[in-house]
Amino acid sequence: MTRKKISQAHQATFDDIRQVDANGNEFWRARQLAKVLEYSEYRHFMPVIERAKTACQTSGQEFVDHFEDVLEMVEIGSGARREVEDVRLSRYACYLIVQNGDPSKPVIANGQTYFALQTRRQELADEAKFAQLTEDDKRLAIRNELAEHNKHLAAAAKDSGVESPVDYAIFQDHGYKGLYGGLGAKDIHARKALKKSQKILDHMGSAELAANLFRATQTEEKLRREGVQGKTQANRTHYAVGQKVRQTIAELGGTMPENLPVPENSIQQVSSAKKKQLKRPEE
């Protein structure tokens, strides 16, 4: 059998053991996956699950959202059945499991390819949906995502020693200065001609918000990956990431964030208009 056919056979097997619950959520059973990945006994597979759980936590996610301990009835002969422990796995959990397997085994290598391809397909589907959104809808989506990622960034900064509100404001300013060519939060606020109570992130277009989202996610990852310690080093890291994002925009021939137009409506106004629009059909 050719390598391509072996790969297709393994991918078909992964699809065969995929299950969907009553709410439409897909999942895999650990005992079934162990067999597909050619583990002779389930007990030999359990350390791989534990390593995957650790990897899940390291990535900043709750492993309980992806690894659910369950009891399953199995036949033990002569029609008798008994309960055995099993784990209900999400697609992400399966991905982490095969990533922690031995890539020299063809079934593991093909498993890694399978889950990577499926994940990318979903990403492409999401990108296609996103591309069809209006500019205001894109702004809302990115602004909401940025709000969530700023929480993760704040947590990572705190772990690095950025503790007080003043420290965090200085830390954020370094990120802005790196991305905006030396302009800090107050400078950007003035450039956008905003009132004192208005937030700069609520008066950005989708392209500018996306640049800031990338700055936030990459800074958080770098702080955690490199175990950055101390306020000074954390500030330098945030500035360097912002500067790198700016450099990337320049290399791609994009418009610098400080030169992008300011939208006519704030995020709050867009959100309010969206809610009114959704209520109309009911009226």
From the number of C-beta atoms within 10 Å of its C-beta (0-12, 13-18, 19+), residue 266 rates as middle
Identity (one letter) of the amino acid at 273? A
Task: Give me the pLDDT at residue 1, please.
Answer: 37
Under-70 pLDDT residues of the chain: 1-13, 74, 76-79, 102-104, 109-110, 112-124, 279-283
Domain residue spans of the chain: 3-113, 133-271
Can you point out the beta strands (E) in the chain? 19-20, 26-29, 67-77, 80-89
Task: Give me the pLDDT at residue 71, please.
Answer: 87
| Helix H or strand E segment including 185 | helix 185-191
Task: Give me the pLDDT at residue 268, please.
Answer: 92
Q: How many residues does the chain have?
A: 283
Q: Which residues contact 217 (CB under 8 A, 6 or more apart)?
A: 149, 153
Task: Give me the pLDDT at residue 2, please.
Answer: 38
Please name which of 174, 162, 143 lies closest in space to residue 230, comparing C-alpha atoms.
162
SS3 content of the chain, % helix, strand, coil (to 5): 65, 10, 25
Identity (one letter) of the amino acid at 242? G
pLDDT tens sequence across 166-178? 999 999 999 999 9
